[in-house]
Structure 1
């Protein structure tokens, strides 16, 4: 396979009947793009059936690969996935939500203007709230409030599930990254700041 323009890293943390739909929708959106791409799924569920489902879909979805990782080893699995891919741009999708290509295209042009990392500030369409997850997320965000106040004041959505990197930024950040449990997003952004990378935030709509 030739070097792709875009690599998408997709951690899978739970078994879901939606997984085939997410992957097929992602492939459908990418097929409309003018650039080449690859998808790397990371199975963190400990369920071999999940890997088999992805491999089966890979028979029809080109450039889809999967690797298995230890349950709970979220940070190290993401680090491994980012360094295994080879795209000029690498998108880390920490959520099962899908971003249409036209939304991806609002992120990519910023790399031509000097951005090293682009954060997608999420606007949700038709979202159904999971209040238990929302409450847990609020608690985590409050705990990280001081970090955001003093180090990430320019980022309105530091817990974004969608982060895109240049190849150079991805390899530098993730080679040295020591991810903090429950704070993987902040770990990444702080590492980018430490390395003086240019971070840009853009608004996208996700469904």
Structure 2
């Protein structure tokens, strides 16, 4: 399998159908083999039924079901670890970063990166429909703290469009434990601590007004940043002690 596309989903019956049709059409037109894995995170709407029906029409589409809502991080981690592709990409169900932005990420991996992450905040990034002002302020505030405390040099940690080599995915996600929205921070921080090369790539991005991100998640984001820094420093101390 050349490419595995992992899409986490929680109550996405209103959005995921067109996204799946679009990504399947794009990938099926290319010569590389692929699989699309929708990881349902305990949805209470018709997400599973809808994806199951589409799987009968779209070869290579599969759905994994969780009995309870565990969080986006849990869903992505589960998908990454059951995937079989040489490259493993996760993308959001709303398709805010369109699948035709895939090739720049693949090129970064081919050039030697272990992880290629889409970015909304580079000079060449194209945001065709920006977030509301309060979400932009929130996002930039989180990123400023993240760059200062945990991931210096990474402009956009939370864009839901990230590609991993199979080896990088298995090494990184096996060690991760964060189930919620801050899982991106843990993935990238652990990858950097392990010496994996992360390449940020400008992408086209369009805000979906139905985004599930909420301002009330901000304090939890900050707690995760500092907790992760503490955990990684402890790992570094143990490693230096062994050496």
Residues 99 and 35 (structure 1 numbering): CA distance in 2 closer, same or farther, change over 3 Å?
farther
Q: How many residues align?
A: 201
Distance 2:139 2:169 in 1: 25
Q: Could you say if the C-alpha distance between residues 165 and 175 of structure 1 is closer, same or farther in structure 2, counting changes exceeding 3 Å?
A: same
The structure with the greater share of residues assigned to helix is 2
- Structure 1 residues 200 and 159 mapped into 2: Cα distance closer, same or farther (>3 Å)? same
Contact 1:180–1:187 (8 Å) recurs in 2: no
The answer to whether the 8 Å contact 2:143/2:155 transfers is no
User: Mind listing any 5+ residue stretches in structure 1 that lack a counterpart?
Assistant: none
TM-score (norm 1): 0.86
Superposition deviation, residue 6 in structure 1: 0.5
Please tell me whether the aligned partners of residues 35 and 60 of structure 2 are also in contact (alpha carbons under 8 angstroms). yes
Per-residue deviation, residues 81-111 of structure 1 (Å, max 9, x unmatched): 1101110000011352165554211110222
Q: How does 1:94-105 map to 2 (within 5 A)?
A: 94-97=92-95, 99-105=97-103
2:44 matches 1:54? no
Structure 2 unaligned blocks of 5 or more: 207-243
Work out the CA distance in 1 between the residues paired with 2:45 and 2:65: 8
Q: Which residue of 1 aligns with 2:176?
A: 177
Alignment partner of 1:23 is 2:25 = no
The equivalent of 1:204 in structure 2 is 203
Give the TM-score normalised by the residue count of structure 2: 0.74
Q: Do 2:13 and 2:45's aligned partners in 1 also have CA atoms closer than 8 Å?
A: no
Is 1:65–2:62 an aligned residue pair? yes
Partner residue of 1:93 out of 91, 94, 111: 91
Structure showing greater radius of gyration is 2
Distance 1:136 1:196 in 2: 32
When the two chains are superposed, the root-mean-square deviation of aligned CA atoms in Å is 2.3
Per mean C-alpha deviation after superposition, the further-off stretch among 89-98 and 27-36 is 89-98
Report which structure shows greater RCO (CA 8 Å, sep ≥6): 1
Partner of residue 36, structure 1 = 33
Q: Secondary structure at the match of 2:31?
A: coil
- Structure 1 residue corresponding to 2:82, chosen from 68, 81, 84: 84
Change beyond 3 A, Cα 1:182–1:136: farther
SS of 1:39's partner is strand
Whether contact under 8 Å (2:86, 2:165) holds in the other structure is: yes
What is the deviation of 1:178?
1.8
Distance 1:19 1:41 in 2: 10
Which of 101, 113, 116 matches 1:115? 113
Q: Which runs of 4+ in 1 moved over 6 A?
A: none
8 Å Cα contact 1:9/1:41 also seen in 2:
yes
